[in-house]
Amino acid sequence: MTDLAERKMRFLYALRSKGVTDSRVLTVMEKIDRGDFVRGIFTDRAYEDMPLPIACGQTISQPSVVGLMTQALHVSPRDKVLEVGTGSGYQAAILSLLARRVYTIDRHRRLVREAEKVFAALDLTNITALAGDGSHGLPDQAPFDRIIVTAAAEDPPGPLLAQLREGGIMVLPVGQSDTVQSLIKVTRTPQGYEYEELRPVRFVPLVEGLAQD
Ligand code: SAH
Protein backbone atom coordinates (compact mmCIF):
# COMPACT_ATOMS: atom_id res chain seq x y z
CA MET A 1 0.00 0.00 0.00
CA THR A 2 1.26 3.49 -0.77
CA ASP A 3 2.04 5.86 2.04
CA LEU A 4 -0.91 8.07 1.04
CA ALA A 5 -3.38 5.18 0.92
CA GLU A 6 -2.19 4.04 4.32
CA ARG A 7 -2.61 7.53 5.78
CA LYS A 8 -6.12 7.75 4.38
CA MET A 9 -6.98 4.37 5.87
CA ARG A 10 -5.71 5.48 9.28
CA PHE A 11 -7.73 8.67 8.90
CA LEU A 12 -10.97 6.68 8.50
CA TYR A 13 -10.01 4.39 11.34
CA ALA A 14 -9.48 7.40 13.63
CA LEU A 15 -12.94 8.73 12.71
CA ARG A 16 -14.58 5.43 13.62
CA SER A 17 -12.67 5.03 16.85
CA LYS A 18 -13.79 8.53 17.92
CA GLY A 19 -17.46 7.76 17.42
CA VAL A 20 -18.18 8.60 13.78
CA THR A 21 -20.20 5.48 12.99
CA ASP A 22 -22.85 6.73 10.52
CA SER A 23 -21.98 4.97 7.27
CA ARG A 24 -23.23 7.83 5.06
CA VAL A 25 -20.98 10.28 6.90
CA LEU A 26 -17.99 7.93 6.67
CA THR A 27 -18.61 7.41 2.95
CA VAL A 28 -18.61 11.13 2.16
CA MET A 29 -15.58 11.71 4.37
CA GLU A 30 -13.79 9.06 2.36
CA LYS A 31 -14.77 10.84 -0.88
CA ILE A 32 -13.89 14.42 0.11
CA ASP A 33 -10.11 14.62 0.37
CA ARG A 34 -9.05 16.86 3.28
CA GLY A 35 -5.74 17.36 1.46
CA ASP A 36 -7.60 19.59 -1.04
CA PHE A 37 -8.47 22.06 1.74
CA VAL A 38 -5.10 22.45 3.46
CA ARG A 39 -2.25 24.57 2.06
CA GLY A 40 1.52 24.81 2.23
CA ILE A 41 3.52 23.13 4.95
CA PHE A 42 0.43 21.64 6.55
CA THR A 43 -0.64 19.51 3.56
CA ASP A 44 1.53 16.74 4.98
CA ARG A 45 -0.67 16.57 8.05
CA ALA A 46 -4.03 16.66 6.26
CA TYR A 47 -4.90 13.11 7.30
CA GLU A 48 -4.10 13.54 10.97
CA ASP A 49 -7.00 13.98 13.37
CA MET A 50 -6.13 17.50 14.42
CA PRO A 51 -7.20 21.05 13.56
CA LEU A 52 -4.73 22.83 11.24
CA PRO A 53 -4.07 26.50 10.49
CA ILE A 54 -5.58 28.04 7.33
CA ALA A 55 -5.39 31.63 6.01
CA CYS A 56 -6.66 34.65 7.99
CA GLY A 57 -5.59 33.16 11.34
CA GLN A 58 -8.41 30.58 11.24
CA THR A 59 -8.41 26.79 11.44
CA ILE A 60 -9.79 23.81 9.57
CA SER A 61 -11.53 21.73 12.24
CA GLN A 62 -10.40 18.37 13.54
CA PRO A 63 -11.82 15.67 11.21
CA SER A 64 -13.43 13.65 14.01
CA VAL A 65 -15.25 16.79 15.19
CA VAL A 66 -16.39 17.48 11.59
CA GLY A 67 -17.66 13.88 11.47
CA LEU A 68 -19.44 14.05 14.83
CA MET A 69 -21.10 17.38 13.97
CA THR A 70 -22.18 16.10 10.55
CA GLN A 71 -23.56 12.94 12.14
CA ALA A 72 -25.48 14.93 14.79
CA LEU A 73 -27.00 17.09 12.06
CA HIS A 74 -28.83 14.08 10.46
CA VAL A 75 -28.77 15.62 6.99
CA SER A 76 -31.10 14.17 4.40
CA PRO A 77 -30.90 14.54 0.61
CA ARG A 78 -33.77 17.07 0.46
CA ASP A 79 -32.30 19.41 3.08
CA LYS A 80 -31.28 23.02 2.62
CA VAL A 81 -28.35 23.62 4.97
CA LEU A 82 -26.73 26.79 6.28
CA GLU A 83 -23.14 26.71 7.51
CA VAL A 84 -21.74 29.68 9.42
CA GLY A 85 -17.92 29.68 9.17
CA THR A 86 -16.81 28.48 5.72
CA GLY A 87 -13.11 28.51 6.66
CA SER A 88 -11.37 26.13 4.26
CA GLY A 89 -14.66 24.85 2.84
CA TYR A 90 -14.05 21.29 4.05
CA GLN A 91 -17.20 20.99 6.17
CA ALA A 92 -19.34 22.56 3.42
CA ALA A 93 -17.96 20.09 0.85
CA ILE A 94 -18.91 17.16 3.08
CA LEU A 95 -22.40 18.57 3.62
CA SER A 96 -22.84 19.15 -0.12
CA LEU A 97 -22.73 15.39 -0.77
CA LEU A 98 -25.46 14.77 1.82
CA ALA A 99 -27.82 17.71 1.27
CA ARG A 100 -29.79 19.26 -1.59
CA ARG A 101 -28.21 22.69 -1.19
CA VAL A 102 -25.60 24.26 1.09
CA TYR A 103 -25.22 27.96 1.86
CA THR A 104 -21.97 28.76 3.62
CA ILE A 105 -20.94 32.15 4.91
CA ASP A 106 -17.67 33.54 6.29
CA ARG A 107 -16.63 36.98 7.49
CA HIS A 108 -13.33 36.70 5.58
CA ARG A 109 -13.77 37.36 1.83
CA ARG A 110 -10.44 35.69 1.08
CA LEU A 111 -11.54 32.41 2.67
CA VAL A 112 -14.80 32.48 0.71
CA ARG A 113 -12.90 33.08 -2.57
CA GLU A 114 -10.44 30.28 -1.91
CA ALA A 115 -13.14 27.83 -0.85
CA GLU A 116 -15.13 28.66 -4.01
CA LYS A 117 -12.14 27.68 -6.16
CA VAL A 118 -11.91 24.30 -4.45
CA PHE A 119 -15.69 23.71 -4.81
CA ALA A 120 -15.42 24.48 -8.54
CA ALA A 121 -12.40 22.21 -8.99
CA LEU A 122 -14.27 19.36 -7.29
CA ASP A 123 -17.44 20.13 -9.28
CA LEU A 124 -19.51 20.67 -6.12
CA THR A 125 -22.23 22.75 -7.76
CA ASN A 126 -24.82 22.83 -4.96
CA ILE A 127 -22.79 25.10 -2.64
CA THR A 128 -23.28 28.86 -2.48
CA ALA A 129 -20.47 30.61 -0.58
CA LEU A 130 -21.00 34.16 0.63
CA ALA A 131 -18.98 36.78 2.50
CA GLY A 132 -20.80 38.29 5.46
CA ASP A 133 -21.59 38.14 9.15
CA GLY A 134 -23.18 34.74 9.58
CA SER A 135 -24.49 35.46 13.06
CA HIS A 136 -27.42 37.20 11.32
CA GLY A 137 -28.03 34.06 9.26
CA LEU A 138 -29.30 34.40 5.71
CA PRO A 139 -32.85 35.82 5.94
CA ASP A 140 -33.34 35.67 2.14
CA GLN A 141 -32.91 31.90 2.08
CA ALA A 142 -34.55 31.05 5.42
CA PRO A 143 -35.94 28.82 6.77
CA PHE A 144 -33.25 26.13 6.83
CA ASP A 145 -33.70 22.43 7.54
CA ARG A 146 -30.27 22.27 9.13
CA ILE A 147 -27.84 24.87 10.47
CA ILE A 148 -24.25 24.25 11.53
CA VAL A 149 -22.04 26.86 13.15
CA THR A 150 -18.29 26.19 13.16
CA ALA A 151 -17.22 29.11 15.37
CA ALA A 152 -18.10 29.51 19.05
CA ALA A 153 -20.68 32.00 20.35
CA GLU A 154 -21.56 32.49 24.00
CA ASP A 155 -25.18 31.63 23.21
CA PRO A 156 -26.95 30.36 20.10
CA PRO A 157 -27.52 33.51 17.97
CA GLY A 158 -31.22 34.48 17.98
CA PRO A 159 -31.47 35.03 14.20
CA LEU A 160 -30.16 31.50 13.59
CA LEU A 161 -32.73 29.99 15.98
CA ALA A 162 -35.43 31.97 14.16
CA GLN A 163 -34.25 30.77 10.73
CA LEU A 164 -34.43 27.08 11.69
CA ARG A 165 -37.46 25.32 10.25
CA GLU A 166 -39.82 23.50 12.63
CA GLY A 167 -38.41 19.99 12.95
CA GLY A 168 -35.01 21.39 12.00
CA ILE A 169 -31.69 20.75 13.74
CA MET A 170 -28.84 23.14 14.52
CA VAL A 171 -25.42 22.01 15.79
CA LEU A 172 -23.02 24.57 17.25
CA PRO A 173 -20.30 25.13 19.85
CA VAL A 174 -21.27 27.48 22.68
CA GLY A 175 -19.04 29.03 25.33
CA GLN A 176 -16.25 31.54 25.67
CA SER A 177 -13.59 31.40 23.00
CA ASP A 178 -10.55 30.95 25.23
CA THR A 179 -11.99 28.04 27.20
CA VAL A 180 -13.40 24.64 26.42
CA GLN A 181 -16.82 25.00 24.81
CA SER A 182 -19.80 22.67 24.59
CA LEU A 183 -21.04 21.26 21.34
CA ILE A 184 -24.81 21.43 21.44
CA LYS A 185 -27.64 20.18 19.29
CA VAL A 186 -30.79 22.29 19.10
CA THR A 187 -34.00 20.79 17.72
CA ARG A 188 -36.90 23.07 16.86
CA THR A 189 -40.21 21.49 17.86
CA PRO A 190 -43.76 22.85 17.55
CA GLN A 191 -43.46 23.82 21.23
CA GLY A 192 -40.08 25.55 21.07
CA TYR A 193 -36.44 24.46 21.18
CA GLU A 194 -34.86 21.38 22.74
CA TYR A 195 -31.19 21.48 23.70
CA GLU A 196 -28.83 18.54 24.01
CA GLU A 197 -25.21 18.80 25.07
CA LEU A 198 -22.98 16.53 22.99
CA ARG A 199 -19.33 16.93 24.04
CA PRO A 200 -16.60 19.43 24.89
CA VAL A 201 -14.95 21.11 21.88
CA ARG A 202 -12.67 24.02 21.03
CA PHE A 203 -13.43 26.41 18.19
CA VAL A 204 -12.27 29.86 17.12
CA PRO A 205 -14.74 32.57 18.20
CA LEU A 206 -17.73 33.81 16.25
CA VAL A 207 -16.79 37.44 15.61
CA GLU A 208 -19.21 40.18 14.62
CA GLY A 209 -19.03 42.02 11.31
CA LEU A 210 -17.28 41.47 7.98
CA ALA A 211 -13.46 41.30 8.29
CA GLN A 212 -11.46 44.07 6.67
CA ASP A 213 -9.09 41.86 4.65
N1 SAH B 1 -15.91 24.99 8.82
C2 SAH B 1 -14.53 25.37 8.56
C3 SAH B 1 -13.75 25.75 9.79
C4 SAH B 1 -14.20 27.04 10.29
S5 SAH B 1 -13.12 27.97 11.33
C6 SAH B 1 -13.80 24.33 7.76
O7 SAH B 1 -14.40 23.28 7.43
O8 SAH B 1 -12.65 24.56 7.41
C9 SAH B 1 -14.31 29.20 11.76
C10 SAH B 1 -14.62 30.19 10.68
O11 SAH B 1 -15.68 31.01 11.19
C12 SAH B 1 -13.47 31.12 10.36
O13 SAH B 1 -13.15 31.02 9.00
C14 SAH B 1 -14.02 32.51 10.71
O15 SAH B 1 -13.62 33.52 9.80
C16 SAH B 1 -15.51 32.29 10.63
N17 SAH B 1 -16.33 33.25 11.39
C18 SAH B 1 -16.15 33.73 12.64
N19 SAH B 1 -17.15 34.59 12.96
C20 SAH B 1 -17.99 34.63 11.90
C21 SAH B 1 -19.20 35.33 11.60
N22 SAH B 1 -19.78 36.17 12.46
N23 SAH B 1 -19.78 35.13 10.39
C24 SAH B 1 -19.23 34.30 9.48
N25 SAH B 1 -18.09 33.62 9.70
C26 SAH B 1 -17.47 33.77 10.89
Express each pLDDT in 39-57 by its tens digit: 998 998 999 999 999 999 9
Answer yes or no: is pLDDT of 1 > 90.
no
- The pLDDT score that the predictor gives to residue 110 is 97
Which residues, 6 or more positions from 45, have their beta carbon under 8 angstroms from its beta carbon?
38, 52
- The pLDDT score that the predictor gives to residue 179 is 83
- On whether residue 211 sits in a domain, the answer given is no
Q: Is 87 in the pocket of ligand 1 (CB under 6 A)?
A: yes
- The pLDDT score that the predictor gives to residue 212 is 85
pLDDT above 90: percentage of residues in the chain: 93
Mean pLDDT of the chain: 96
Q: Whose CA is nearest to atom 19 of ligand 1?
A: 206
Q: Whose CA is nearest to atom 25 of ligand 1?
A: 106
Residue 3 CA to ligand 1 centre (angstroms)? 32
CATH number assigned to the domain comprising residue 131: 3.40.50.150
Instruction: Tell me, rounded to whole angstroms, the distance of Cα 51 from its chain centroid.
Output: 13
- The pLDDT score that the predictor gives to residue 25 is 98
Alpha helices by DSSP H, listed for 84-133, are 90-96, 109-121
Torsion angle of alpha carbons 26, 31, 36, 41, nearest 10°?
50
Read off the pLDDT of each residue in 127-134 and give the average, rounded to a whole number: 98
* Residues tagged active-site: 61
Answer yes or no: is pLDDT of 72 > 80.
yes
Answer yes or no: is pLDDT of 139 > 80.
yes
- On whether residue 209 sits in a domain, the answer given is no
- On whether residue 63 sits in a domain, the answer given is yes
Residue 157: give the domain boundaries: 3-201
Please return the burial class of 74, using the count of CB atoms within 10 Å of its CB with bins 0-12, 13-18 and 19+. middle
pLDDT in tens, 167-212: 999 999 999 877 889 999 999 999 999 999 999 999 999 999 999 8
When divided into structural domains, the chain yields a total of 1
- On whether residue 161 sits in a domain, the answer given is yes
Contact 113, 138 (CB under 8 A): no
Atom of ligand 1 nearest to the CA of 59: 5
Read off the pLDDT of each residue in 76-83 and give the average, rounded to a whole number: 98
- On whether residue 195 sits in a domain, the answer given is yes
- On whether residue 35 sits in a domain, the answer given is yes
Answer yes or no: is pLDDT of 73 > 80.
yes
